[in-house]
Amino acid sequence: MDRRAFLSLSAFTPLAHLLPVYRTARAADAVELHTDVAVIGGGVGGIACALAAARNGLKVILTERYDWIGGQLTSQAVPPDEHPWIETTGSTKTYRDFRTRVRDYYKRNYPLSEAATKDPLLNPGAGSVSKLCHEPRAALAVLLEMLAPHVATGRVKIVQPFAPTSAETDGDTVTAVIGTMPSHRVPVVITAPYFVDATETGELLPLAKVEHVTGAEAQRDTGEPHAPDVAKPKNHQAFTVCFAVDHQPDADNTIPVPPAYKQWRDYIPKMQPAWPGKLLSWEMSDPKSLKTRAVGFNPAGAVEKGLNLWTYRRILAKSNCAEDSGVSDICLVNWPQNDYWLGNLYDTPDAAKHELAGRELSLALLYWMQTEAPHADGRKKGFPGLRLRNDILGTETTTGLAMAPYIRESRRIKALFTVTETHVGVEARAKALKKQPGEFAAEKFADSVGTGSYRIDLHPSSTGDNYIDVSSLPFQIPLGALIPKRVENLLPACKNIGTTHITNGCYRLHPVEWSIGEAVGELVAFCIAKKRVPRQVRRDAKLLGDYQAHLVKAGCDLEWPDEIAKTVR
């Protein structure tokens, strides 16, 4: 492909539109697949679900829309956002196993220094955002390795690339999910006793007519102090098309001028409270105070003050490798400057247009960094040595950017129980309990199936809200948030659980999504063994206790140690 065409995105088409849609309903010549549980979506939650179901002896079909399984960790290219206690608690045994395997992957395959090789807490990228910043290919290799024994025995069948296009239902039961694959010119029909929606945007919910919500709920409905007065169903958090770069200081790797460059170079966000100036700048809104926050950028070393974006999400650090290894730093660009909030990726006919515009924004940011970004000394502009590392993201022959956009907000089920800001937010709980921070923990749920911790972190959104960044407490994941109000055999396994627009901001991160998926995989296995449906398990104290005992035996943390539970994040 011509380099100019490659970087101008002329060859880009969202994958949803690459998959052939010859017929979207069941046909006589359809390919039919049957399994015990169909997990639609091979992201973090979907993989955790498949692993849990398979280790309990169930047969699993795991579908994925993109060429890589792994979602946030791989096709979206985002190293994990985690809490400070992740090494020992607040997740699951299998998630901690994943983290150990990532470190081992680097120790087995990379020319690490002696110190890095001996470091039990190796951070491959030495990034500041996480204790485990790593390349997406490393995560892909580890996830495939974890699934390998189940694939070999036939318990797990990976079907990709697969796009769901319709669903069949019988009353409150989903009976089939129908989709398309490039390798089949007829529909692929998947039938199963249980279906799991582990897609990044809750794709099965409208297809199966599962009651759900989108965007921001009204304050009168949730009682949340940070919710708007009026519901805004079209108000979705920004998505980001990530990309990876290294830096060759003596080279000129400047890409051709992206067609939308002038538009994005001059763009000043219109939102409330106001953004401090142009989007393509080293100044932005501080997520907590919303005042102007200046950051630095220096591939060669430290910055005078504040955050160095070069090391923030660095996914490979040359300092971890032997001096003569030839390894360079690789920086993953997932910053406010390439957050896209001018439109949404679902429930709009313009979804493909907005994804393309998000990709154009990322290329514009790269070109701006190469040509116009100011240096700290104020005298120089541009870093022409920045090189797009499309090989790191598996997109050498397409756009050079991440395969998939990083999606922060999904459709969410109308659940038996909805987690609100009053359950986990420090400010809201302090007001409700009339206590001071440090004197209370998040709401304790009798039906807890997992734990997590993260600030309530909402990026700017598509109807003009600036950041909403709110202190929270280490929280639990209630079973009631995983069960739809009506449908019996479809369960959510990622960002599509019973949270609100506000609490999605802390339940949407990698380890929480893994815990949700694992709990769902265990739940399906438990329900099939006991011949019960999920709502019956939650209603019956004996069944609930037995199910939670299964989770504990599998290594799932259901509650926080007392010394952590009251910690304000």
Give the pLDDT confidence score for residue 302 in this predicted structure. Answer: 82
Give residue for tokens 């100044």.
283
Beta bridge partners, 388, equal: 245
For residue 58, what is the DSSP state?
Answer: -
Q: What would the mean pLDDT of 58-78 be, rounded to a whole number?
A: 97
Q: Where are the alpha helices (DSSP H) in 57-112?
A: 93-109
pLDDT tops 80 at residue 9: no
pLDDT band at 538 (very low <50, low <70, confident <90, very high): very high
Give the pLDDT confidence score for residue 399 in this predicted structure. Answer: 72
Q: What would the mean pLDDT of 359-376 be, rounded to a whole number?
A: 96
Which of 89-93, 375-379, 466-470 shows the lowest per-residue confidence on average (mean pLDDT)? Answer: 375-379
Name residue 161's amino acid. P
Q: What would the mean pLDDT of 404-431 be, rounded to a whole number?
A: 97
Burial of 409-422, coded b for 16+ CB within 10 Å and e otherwise, reads bbbbbebbbbbbbb
Give the pLDDT confidence score for residue 3 in this predicted structure. Answer: 42
Give the pLDDT confidence score for residue 26 in this predicted structure. Answer: 58
Give the pLDDT confidence score for residue 306 in this predicted structure. Answer: 83
CB 375 within 8 A of CB 202: no
Structure tokens at 170: 């019988």
For residue 80, what is the DSSP state?
Answer: P
Give the pLDDT confidence score for residue 123 in this predicted structure. Answer: 98
Name residue 508's amino acid. R
| 3-class DSSP string for 342-389 | CCCCCCCCCHHHHHHHHHHHHHHHHHHHHHCCECCCCCCECCCCEEEC
Parallel/antiparallel/unpaired status of strands 386-388 and 456-458:
unpaired
pLDDT tops 80 at residue 537: yes
CB 173 within 8 A of CB 132: no
pLDDT tops 80 at residue 4: no
> 44-55 vs 93-109: helix axis angle to the nearest 10?
110
Q: What would the mean pLDDT of 285-292 be, rounded to a whole number?
A: 94
What percent of the chain is modeled with pLDDT above 70?
95
pLDDT tops 70 at residue 138: yes
- Which residues does 253 contact at the CB level (< 8 Å), separation at least 6? 370, 384, 385, 386, 387, 388
Structure tokens at 52: 């849990």
Parallel/antiparallel/unpaired status of strands 468-470 and 184-191:
unpaired
Instruction: Give the whole-angstrom CA distance, residue 179 versus residue 204.
Output: 11
Instruction: Give the whole-angstrom CA distance, residue 228 versus residue 231.
Output: 7
CA distances from 3 to 131, 237, 259, 394, 399 (A): 36, 32, 14, 16, 10
513-525 residue pLDDT tens: 999 999 999 999 9
For CA atoms 188, 191, 197, 203, give the dihedral sign: positive
pLDDT band at 12 (very low <50, low <70, confident <90, very high): low
147-186 residue pLDDT tens: 999 999 999 999 999 999 999 999 999 999 999 998 877 8
CB 402 within 8 A of CB 66: no
Angle of CA points 507, 88, 445, to nearest 5°: 45
Question: pLDDT higher for 25 or 142?
Answer: 142
Instruction: Give the whole-angstrom CA distance, residue 106 versus residue 103.
Output: 5
Domain ranges of the chain: 32-207, 218-225+410-565, 238-393
pLDDT tops 50 at residue 23: no
- SS3 assignment, position 425: strand
Give the pLDDT confidence score for residue 5 in this predicted structure. Answer: 38
Closest CA to 409 of 215, 228, 230: 215
196-209 residue pLDDT tens: 999 999 999 999 99
Give the pLDDT confidence score for residue 418 in this predicted structure. Answer: 98
**Average pLDDT over the chain, rounded to an integer:** 94
pLDDT tops 70 at residue 25: no
pLDDT tops 70 at residue 2: no
Name residue 356's amino acid. L
Give the pLDDT confidence score for residue 362 in this predicted structure. Answer: 97
Which of 15-19, 260-264, 280-284, 461-465 shows the lowest per-residue confidence on average (mean pLDDT)? Answer: 15-19
Give the pLDDT confidence score for residue 27 in this predicted structure. Answer: 64
Does 3.50.50.60 match the CATH number of domain 32-207?
yes
pLDDT tops 80 at residue 320: yes
